[in-house]
Structure 1
Amino acid sequence: MYPLTILFCLLFSLLPTSLMAADGGGHAYTDSFIGIICVCIFLISYLFVLGEEYFHLRKSKPVIVAAGLIWLLIGLAFTLQGDKETAAAAFRHNLLEYAELFFFLLAAMSFITTLEERQLFAALRSWLISCKLTLVQIYWATGALAFFLSPIADNLSTALLMGAVVMAVGQQNIKFVTVGCINVVVAANAGGAFSPFGDITTLMVWQKGVIGFGGFFLLFIPAIISWLVPAGLMSFAIEKASPPPEQRNEKRSMKPGALQVLLLFLLTILLTISSHSVLNLPSVLGMMTGLGILKLYGYYLSRFDTNIRDTGHIHNHHIDNLTDLRQMKGDHTDVIRRFDIFKVVERSSWDTLMFFYGVVLSVGGLATLGYLGLLSDLIYSSLGPTLANSLIGILSSLIDNIPVMFAVLTMQPEMSTNQWLLVTLTTGIGGSLLSIGSAAGIALMGQAQGVYTFYTHLKWSWAIGLGYLLSIAAHLWLNGA
């Protein structure tokens, strides 16, 4: 963590003097005291994000405070110049961008959480474990499922699900669990790179209108190469043996309504795509409409579902903070607890959603001061788009890919569609180079604590890096520079 901290602190100190002295957007705030203070505030807040496990401080807290301080200073800077309109208009513009992202993600998370509550993923996991597969077959099955599930579900949930299968099968086989977890992380990140719904970065690119929905599928072959190359190399480290028979006893089945919720999710995606492509309406409209339909179906389930216990990361969600119906009715009838869609929505990752607020507003604030425009000129003009986009992917393994991609989208460098596809690919798969480079890797480090670690992942970074380079080459060859 300390080398990363030092590197991140030096990022802006290494910029040339001309960058700090230029004019941004008609206002010379990049070389002003207020501008430099805003940069320092953002860097300090992000150091706490990088050290989340060390400080035990949720990542959303420092960036929300940083966003508030940055915009207060921006408002002060413009007011001192006699401009009382620009800062407010810029803040509202960034807030609108966040609002669209927030409601889209809230709807998607609600569907995924409901599917987990209905035990769809638990049944899939149970079926995989019960199959009479060898360790090598489990390795390839979990990787393939992670690759093809993450374009629909998010890569974090996919990695946790497949990681649970790897650990349940491997148990005492440390080498298998380690390599299997790395394989799942790489596959989940790669699968999310060729779908607007697979990762936050691809979603932001699609919502920005830079790439059409169908354009992302041009990344399918480069994305699968970025997984297959390291997966094939790591597979030689797995013993050709079968898991112990006792690992095949777990039996789980889906709750009523699981397949109906899955169908509603697919129809919601179809509605979102068609309304955005045909009617040119914001994609969030389709997702929120689907969420409303899910809530209506949740009312139907609540009339007939009497389950009071659940498993997974939303364990016992019906029991939390429920009011005793006997008190409501004033009698001594039995307590009946049913499915409640609002309890499911409560289980969404609110820390992640609030983190996006801090990132979007902080980066948007630095863009308003002119820093991102100057940084865009420095990177893309000096290095060229291909090299710049390739290096940005490597940077996303050290820094979360969300602020990196949002910064690129805010810069809006002049690039062809294929170059926008390239930066979408690299920020999606670049996080696999290190275990801390993606939410999937960080989550699995916690799930397989002591077995899958930063250093065990680092031992295979050379293979992942080879897949990263070959996927870039495949994109440039197939789709053009």
Structure 2
Amino acid sequence: MSSLTIAIVVVFVLGYLFIALESVTKVNKAAVALLMFVFCWTLFMLNPSSYITGFSGQELLNQVSAIIEHHLGSTSTTLFFLMGAMTIVEIVDQNGGFNWVRDVMKTKSKRSLLWRIACLTFILSAILDNLTTSIVMIMILRKLVHEHKDRIIYASLVIIAANSGGAFSPIGDVTTIMLWNKGVITAAGVISEILIPSVVSMVVPAFVLQFMLKGELETGEELHLKSDYEVLDFTSKQRKAIFFLGVGGLMFVPVFKSITHLPPFVGILLVLGVLWTVTEVFYRRLRRGTEREGTQRRVTNLLRRIDMATILFFLGILMAVACLEEVGVLTALGQGLNETFNGNHYAVTGIIGVLSSIVDNVPLVAGCMGMYPVAEMGEMAVDGIFWQLLAYCAGVGGSILIIGSAAGVVVMGLEKITFGWYMKHISWIAFLGYVAGILSYWVIRTYLIVTPL
């Protein structure tokens, strides 16, 4: 390995360290990721001929530009998908589309509420992103459960169920979106074969956690859920239309891709365009001259609420990983892992899943996509064991520690759950579900599905 390659790796590792220590340094991880991106490629340009052979002079520079533009184009498909999905969810949420969830959750039994939370979070996170689902569920829990010691148990289950639900859906988690965009998994393949392991990884922890809850929830006038429908701009029918257009549209995206063979981000932009048009028509029908006119819930205003820091973080980290791919580091690392574990994909992806609870799973998955080429047939083919296990492990493994996923971090902040409490009471339960899911996948692949060689 050349000194220049070592320098690129050092920059990436230092950047990764600062991203992991964001809570200590107070420097936003997006800023660090962008610096990683620029510094890695700047070092690459000091001697590009050592990585790109057969070219010189202007031809070499043109080749480098083509390589960077190729990686940028690949990265942009994921970024536009995320921006479109985030905007759709924001439109549905801000216009009261999720209010019906409260009525579904009403119950007096603590254990009954736990299972309702688990199932609903699991389903929603497969359609929405796990971060948004977690926020919605925590807001509802605050209205249903007043005892904080009980609520943090429910909140912990929200983290587990959200990560499990996102793992089997091509649109449920950033990592599955990346793998789907890359073409290493298909929507039908990941849903059909990862659904059961994902369910197992949620059901096992929920079964254990129910024994930590006893009795019934408090009832009374103070816990009555007041509807906020009257403060919204749209009628009940209009809100339902927005909900079904938004959520139904997200579910339609994989179908659109299979029909048109266009990239997934095209489908998500189609749904956004339709939803945007419908809401504009609804607003035009509102009576003019009322307080509703000039509302802040129009899409043009909601676009300002999109978390651009997250988008820029993904841009920086994915482009930095692309540089590691170009200098050959990822290929060498992938070969080293295969030699260490004798090509056992369960061991490799299982370790990656555990690592994803410590560090961000986005660069881990991006790195794996650069490490391993897609084969024509076998376990490394499209929808092969390796890629499907990677989707499962990177998503579900983030539940083992509370800092291991976006859902965990946001719930940690909202409910003031400490790292130590979660690790002591929940981590082993989440790990149990994680391992049980992998075992169920092994059973499915060994006895129910024959992998072509």
TM-score for both structures, normalised by structure 2: 0.87
Residue 434 of structure 2 corresponds to residue 455 of structure 1: no
2:228 pairs, out of 252, 257, 260, with: 252
The equivalent residue for 2:385 is 418
1:300 partnered with 2:281: yes
> 1:388-427 maps to which residues of 2 (within 5 A)?
388-413=348-373, 415-416=380-381, 417-427=384-394
Aligned-pair CA distance for 1:123: 4.3
1:31-430 mapped onto 2 (5 Å cutoff): 31-78=1-48, 82=56, 83-125=60-102, 127-128=103-104, 131-171=106-146, 173-217=147-191, 218-245=193-220, 246-253=222-229, 255-256=234-235, 257-266=238-247, 268-269=249-250, 272-305=253-286, 336-338=293-295, 339-383=297-341, 384=343, 385-413=345-373, 415-416=380-381, 417-430=384-397
Equivalence for 1:311: none
**Two-structure CA RMSD over aligned residues (Å):** 2.3
- In the alignment, the residues of structure 2 paired with residue 61 and residue 169 of structure 1 have an alpha-carbon distance, to the nearest angstrom, of 38
Amino acid at match of 2:144: V
Which runs of no fewer than 5 residues in structure 2 stay unpaired? Answer: none
Report the CA distance between 1:267 and its aligned residue. 5.0
Is the 8 Å Cα contact of residues 306 and 337 (structure 1) preserved in structure 2? no
* C-alpha distance in 2 between matches for 1:226 and 1:274: 27
Hey, what does 1:328 align to over in structure 2? none
Deviation at 1:277, TM superposition (A): 1.6
- 2:122 is matched by which residue type in structure 1? F
CA gap 1:37/1:177 in 2 versus in 1, 3 angstroms: same
Instruction: Please give the alpha-carbon distance, in whole angstroms, between the structure 1 residues aligned to 2:248 and 2:178.
Output: 21
Paired with 1:41 and 1:123, the residues of 2 have a C-alpha distance of 48
Flag structure 1 segments of 5+ consecutive residues without an equivalent: 1-30, 308-324, 326-332
Q: Conserved in 2, the CA contact under 8 Å of 1:111 and 1:261?
A: no
**Offset at 1:166?**
2.6
Distance 2:411 2:251 in 1: 31
Q: Give secondary structure in 1 for the equivalent of 2:246.
A: helix
SS across alignment from 1:151: helix
Shift of 1:184: 0.6
Q: Which amino acid aligns with 1:137?
A: S
Q: How does 1:461-480 map to 2 (within 5 A)?
A: 461-480=427-446
The one-letter code sitting in structure 2 at the alignment partner of 1:78 is P
Question: Secondary structure of the equivalent of 2:216?
Answer: coil
- Aligned to 1:84, what secondary structure does the other structure show? helix
**C-alpha distance in structure 2 between counterparts of 1:359 and 1:306, whole Å:** 47
Which one is further off, 96-105 or 438-447? Answer: 96-105
Contact persistence 1:205–1:211 (CA under 8 A): yes
Q: Give the superposition deviation at 1:50.
A: 1.5
For the residues of structure 2 that align with 1:85 and 1:370, how far apart are their CA atoms?
A: 20
CA distance in 2, matches of 1:457, 1:427: 19
- Give the whole-Å Cα distance in 1 for the aligned partners of 2:331 and 2:408: 31
Deviations 1:413-437 (A, max 9, x none): 4525122111111111000000000
* Cα pair 1:135 1:243 within 8 Å, conserved: no
Percent of matched pairs sharing the same residue: 28
User: In structure 2, what residue type is equivalent to 1:34?
Assistant: L
- Partner of 1:436: helix, strand, or coil? coil
Tell me if the contact between 1:199 and 1:428 (Cα under 8 Å) persists in the aligned partners.
yes
Maintained 8 Å contact 1:38/1:70: yes
Following TM superposition, by how much is the alpha carbon of 1:348 offset from its aligned partner in structure 2, in angstroms?
1.4
> 1:57-114: per-residue Cα shift (whole Å, max 9, x none)?
2221110111011111112221578432443222111100111111111111111000
After TM superposition, give the deviation of residue 252 of structure 1 in Å: 3.0
> Structure 1 180/67 Cα, relative in aligned 2: closer, same or farther at 3 Å?
same
Shift of 1:270: 5.6
Amino acid at match of 1:77: N
Between the aligned partners of 2:332 and 2:93, the Cα distance in structure 1 is: 45
Partner SS for 2:108? coil
Q: Deviations over 1:265-310 (max 9, x none)?
A: 3453465323422332211111112222222223213313479xxx
Question: Equivalent residue of 1:222, what SS?
Answer: helix
**Does the 8 Å CA contact 1:178/1:456 hold for their aligned counterparts?**
no
How many angstroms apart in 2 are the aligned matches of 1:403 and 1:381? 22
The number of residues matched between the two structures is 422
> What is the CA–CA distance in structure 1 between the aligned matches of 2:94 and 2:125, rounded to whole Å?
18
- TM-score relative to the length of structure 1: 0.83
